[in-house]
Structure 1
Amino acid sequence: MDGLLALRIYQDIVGIIGILGNGLVCFVIFKVRSMQTRTNAFIFHQAVIDFLSSVVILLKSELLLPYPIQNGPLGWFICRLWFTNLTLFFFFALSTFNLLVLTMERYFAIVHPFKYQAAFITWPRLKVALTVVMCWILDLATKFYLLFYAKVEDGICVRNSIPGANIIGTLVVILQYVVPVAVMLFAYIRISVEMKRGAARVGPAPAQHLPGGANAPDMAESLLRARRNTFKMLLIVFITFLICWTPNQVIFFMFNLGINIKLNEWFYYLSVAMVATNSCVNPMIYAFKYRQFRNGLRQIFCKRFEQTNALE
């Protein structure tokens, strides 16, 4: 009981920090015009998802299941959407898909810049919006089976036996964890290699004076530093994602393989708490590692923003 109480308190803390932190990220990106870029559009979406996740975490920690649960729309919602953790893991997995999109956006911008620019010549905002919608559709497809995972029986929610549930669960792990991790790992390796090549090209270049006294190598180096800053920030986000998500997905994968693991043991609840933690840490990463976000904070709250520091 003490362990469950400690877990509940921890979830409350995670929920509150996540709501405040991600709300701040959304506010800064919305208010600061210079931050309204394609990359930051996906960061904004990430913050919205994590904000909603934090709200659900807090509600699930504080709201207990009623007894008895009545048949009807409310009972259907409580049992199939709330009891099964569908709502919670819907936002958790949506955050994963958005992180994948955010990573690939940086991958194409840095590794294939000409294709990237050509893709966004027409209707850039619409294409960003369609990408976001695709994340939601993919997430719904991987979570749809959970609607049939529980039922109301004698006024309580009980697990419902689904034919092929283990196969579906295994496919879900592959789609929401294995594939995104593999793709993102490949993308970060390729980005790292390309940025090293870019640094080598910028380094020995001769000075070419441009109007206004600027040098072409200086501008290229400033752009490279800005890209490197964003890359490092996203890499930390990815590593944090791996740390928070891996235990839960390994346990769930072993469960679906038929290994004698129960999903009501302390270690599973701890793994869910780790996934929940991922919803509140990203704003801290932005605050410490994302120069553009820190400048946005200064512009709003300190009113001493200096335009010359916009690029690293």
Structure 2
Amino acid sequence: MTTDVETVDDADDQGWSVSGIDNSAVVRTVYGVIGFSGMAGNALVCFVLIRVPSLRTRTSQFIINLAIADFLTSFWLIPFHMFPRAPPLTKGLSGELMCRLYISKYILWVSAVMSIYFLVAVTLERYVAVVHPLKYKRVFTTKFTLLVSACCWLIGILSPIFFFFIYDVRDGVCVFLPYPSRAHQMVFQLV
């Protein structure tokens, strides 16, 4: 008898890896160095941009948000790639959240997508400032900057929501729901 689900342990112990290379000490060390240096560098960017009043501009507001998103991405690299085995699931809501947030890598995807959106926001802000300098002060007001930042955070959280629904807890084990699952059907009904 075949099943239509794969447990996370059976499918791929290393997460989204192509081969077992993610398990090597060299690759884990590189992920650790990237994660810790990313966290340190982005924390330093936030510290400097917040502490130095002369650096507070519209661009720096977007760069601070970008640094926060990059900090979170660097932070989540460490547990996902240095310790690929998730702790055992507990019963109840905490097990569901562990499966859907951690094992599905939803939170890593959220931080990566937010980083991309803030990079686009910085690019567009700089484009308007350079190409249309007379419109810049009229368009990039404090309200508009806050609105764009809030939209980047919201869209960053909602864009990878699919990962939240393609994993489920069955018999105390987190399982990947391959196509076609109820999550896939829900997404295609919305489209």
Could you say whether these structures have the same fold, taking a TM-score greater than 0.5 normalized by the shorter chain as the test? yes
* SS of match in other structure, 1:158: strand
8 A contact 1:79–1:157 mirrored in 2? yes
Which structure shows the bigger proportion of residues in helix conformation?
Answer: 1
Alpha-carbon distance, 1:71 to partner:
2.8
Structure 2 unaligned regions, length at least 5: 1-19
8 A contact 1:71–1:152 mirrored in 2? no
* Count of residue correspondences: 165
* SS of match in other structure, 2:160: helix
* SS of match in other structure, 1:66: coil
Counterpart for residue 44 of structure 1: 64
RCO (CA 8 Å, sep 6+): is it higher in 1 or 2? 2
> Which of 108, 111, 114 is residue 128 of structure 2 equivalent to?
108
Structure 2: how far apart are the matches of 1:156 and 1:32? 49
Alpha-carbon distance, 1:164 to partner:
7.6
Structure 2: how far apart are the matches of 1:48 and 1:54? 10
**Two-structure CA RMSD over aligned residues (Å):** 2.3
Alpha-carbon distance, 1:35 to partner:
0.8
Answer yes or no: is 1:4 the counterpart of 2:19.
no
TM-score with structure 2 setting the length:
0.77
Counterpart for residue 150 of structure 1: 167
Alpha-carbon distance, 1:2 to partner:
6.1
Aligned 1:1-312 pairs, distance under 5 A: 3-5=22-24, 6-60=26-80, 61-62=82-83, 64-67=85-88, 69-120=89-140, 124-161=141-178, 162=181, 165=184
Query: What amino acid does structure 1 have at the position aligned with 2:114?
Result: L
List per-residue Cα deviations over 1:103-160 (Å, max 9, x = no partner).
000111111222222224xxx3332111110011222231122211101123221102
TM-score with structure 1 setting the length:
0.49
Q: 1:3 to 1:116 in 2, by over 3 A?
A: closer
Q: 1:59 to 1:20 in 2, by over 3 A?
A: same
Q: Percent of counterpart pairs with the same letter? A: 31
